[in-house]
Every structure is written in C-alpha cells, then in structure tokens.
Amino acid sequence: MPRIRGAPDLELADRHVQRARAIIEYYDPAYFFIENPTGDALRSLHTRAVTKGLPEPRLTTYCKYGTPYMKPTHIWTNAAPSVPLLQCTHATPCPARATLGEHENTAQEGSEKLEAARSEWREGTEWEVAAAVREEAETARVACAERKKALEEAREVAEALEHAEGELQEAVREAGVLRERVGRSQEEKREAIRAGWMCEIHTPEAANLELWEGTH
C-alpha cells in the first residue's frame, strides 16, 4: 500500500492494486511480482478483497536476508521460487534475534537512522545479490543453450527418420516391381515348359500319321 502518514487510505491503496493488476493483465508477462508489507490484520493487503484471484501470497522477512529490521512482507507471484522464502520465527530466528533476542532496528524508525542501517546492510549484500543474479542468469543461459542443442538434435533425428522412411518406401516399390517381373518370368517359363511338353507328345503321332498315309 502507498506509504502515507496518519490513517491509511485503503480506497486509494485498493486503486493502486487494481491498476497494478490491470497492467499485469494487459502486458501478460511470463512472471509478475507484487510486494507489500504485511501490516496489521485489518489493513494488510492480503486481507483486502482487491487481491481476490491472485496467487496465494508468500510471506518472508527482510531480516533473514541480512537487514537489521524484520519487516514481514507478502509477495504475490505466479513464479515458483527455486528455494522457499525465509521467515524469522521463534523456531528459525535471524542472527540478530538469535543473539540479541530482538532486532536492532525497525522498519518504522526515523528516515536517517533507517537509511544508515540500510546502507550498512547494502555494503555487505549488494555484491552478493548481484553475484547471485549473475549465477542464476548463467544457469538459465546454459539451460537455454542445452535446450536449443537438444531441439536441434531432435530436428536432425526427425529429418534422418523422414529420409529413411522415403528410402524404405522406394525399396518397397522396387521390390514390388521386381516381384512382378519375377512373376512374369516364371509364367513365361511355365508356358515354355508346357509348349515343349506338347511338342514331345504330339510330334511322334504326327510322324506316324504321315507314315500311314504314305502306305495307303
């Protein structure tokens, strides 16, 4: 919700959320994130009707990532995190809470004190965050390259199978032609055998008939 002094303007806050949702719906990004501090039970964004239809919010606390203040925060996203978001609880306290029993600062402290605490925290974490982002980007790049290679190999296999199928069809066609030729050759051979057999049977009879006619 917008940061204002005094009583929060919940209607204005709802309009901000509605506008954010309209932008998300219009651009239809692959992933989106909406972040807002939890606040009290009556005014916290996750209790407002305007969030109906959004994914279930995930709760995290800044102190688990190195800040000197807790700042419980809800995050709405359609992305599945690779690791669970951390929370500072009695069972899983942050380093400050584990050693001191409390947090060194609060997110509601004066701007100068809070900014000083943030600056000290940033010095130790900015490069860590940047390194983590680079690592994730490199992991994604390698995964994309491997996927591209796998798709290219699959395409080559598909082309090889298509070529082999064409060759097989041609071989089947040629085999059919050859079978037809063999069939004709066998039929011609059978005709020749029958013709030879007829000659062997009828030729002597014809000779005897001529001999008989010559003697009468």
Which residues contact residue 69 at a Cβ distance below 8 angstroms, ignoring those fewer than 6 apart?
Answer: 62, 63, 103, 104, 105, 106, 107, 109, 114, 117
25 within some domain: yes
| Beta carbons of 64 and 87 less than 8 angstroms apart | yes
172 within some domain: no
| pLDDT beyond 50 at 73 | yes
Closest CA to 37 of 2, 81, 82: 2
54 within some domain: yes
What pTM was estimated for this model as a whole?
Answer: 0.49
- pLDDT-wise least confident of 28-37, 151-160, 180-189, 200-209: 200-209
| Euclidean distance between CA atoms 81 and 188, whole angstroms | 79
Q: Indicate the number of domains in the chain.
A: 1
102 within some domain: yes
Question: β-strand 72-77 against 58-61: which pairing, if any?
Answer: antiparallel
119 within some domain: no
65 within some domain: yes
Report the amino acid identity of residue 28: D
The pLDDT score that the predictor gives to residue 93 is 92
47 within some domain: yes
**Containing structural domain, residue 85:** 10-108
pLDDT digits (tens, 9 = 90+) for 105-134: 665 555 555 566 556 656 666 667 677 778
| Euclidean distance between CA atoms 164 and 159, whole angstroms | 9
168 within some domain: no
